Amino acid sequence: MKLKICGMKYKDNITEVAQLQPDYLGFIFYEKSSRFFDRDIPELPRSIKKVGVFVNASIPYILEKIKNYNLQVIQLHGEESVSFCAELKLMCHTERSLSANEESNNEIHVSSEMPEVIKVFSIKDKFDFSILKPFEEVCDYFLFDTKGKLPGGNGYTFNWDALKEYPSTKPFFLSGGIGLNETEKLKDFKNTDASKYCYAVDVNSKFEIEPGLKNNKELKTFKNEL
């Protein structure tokens, strides 16, 4: 499984955590979050994908952050509809084509890769997986998080047994209150049919000294065990 560390905020901490070579680092562009990111991202290894996390944001706002931070992944953590995801994909393609043409005129190479889209769904004990079907064509991944008071970062896990009913072949991220105490549970989960399409594990609040500041030592231990 790949590893995504979300809710990064402080420059030195970002640089320190990046040395662990996670597959993804997440930055939250939601002003009501205590992990809201409005700073500069230090230079990261090319192997680490930068994820922008948004909650019911407008498409122009998302496109602005993609451009300003060179985001490779967009995580939609609100109530975004199928049509919203489809329009976002289309606008990303249009913006990327325009940027590529501009840079081509200046004889500068631009990556043609489109930002990937992760759509988040929250689970407690049960979930109606039928709502996922129309999203399959407009998203690259699903992410399953714990249903709670906040859109993420609630600090506790949902019932992973619910994923036994997962009907899709779309790869997904497993999130929600995952910390060092869940390593054995994760190992058991990896041996179940429910984990067949589990592409990555997403961690956040369980590894924090304070919101946005990660405990690098504990993350290193977790990554080694993962």
198: Cβ–Cβ under 8 A, 6 or more apart, which residues? Answer: 1, 163, 171, 172, 173, 174, 189, 190
CATH for the stretch 2-225: 3.20.20.70
Q: How far is CA 224 from CA 19, 172, 186, 216, in A?
A: 13, 21, 13, 12
pLDDT digits (tens, 9 = 90+) for 146-158: 976 666 555 678 9
pLDDT band at 145 (very low <50, low <70, confident <90, very high): very high
Which pLDDT does position 109 carry in this prediction? 41
pLDDT digits (tens, 9 = 90+) for 58-86: 999 999 999 999 999 999 999 999 999 99
Residues of the chain with pLDDT > 90, as a percent, come to: 81
Which pLDDT does position 103 carry in this prediction? 56
Q: What are phi and psi of 165, to 5 degrees?
A: -95, 5
What gap in Å lies between CA 103 and CA 63, rounded to an integer? Answer: 18
- Mean pLDDT for the chain? 91
How does strand 2-5 pair with strand 73-76? unpaired
Smallest Cα–Cα separation from 175: which of 132, 209, 220, 205? 205
pLDDT digits (tens, 9 = 90+) for 169-208: 999 999 999 999 999 999 999 999 989 999 999 999 999 9
- 3-state DSSP percent of the chain in helix, strand and coil, to 5: 35, 20, 40
pLDDT band at 100 (very low <50, low <70, confident <90, very high): low
Which pLDDT does position 213 carry in this prediction? 98
What gap in Å lies between CA 185 and CA 38, rounded to an integer? Answer: 35
Burial of residue 150 (number of CB atoms within 10 Å: 0-12, 13-18, 19+): middle
Lowest mean pLDDT, pick from 8-22, 35-49, 98-112, 159-173: 98-112
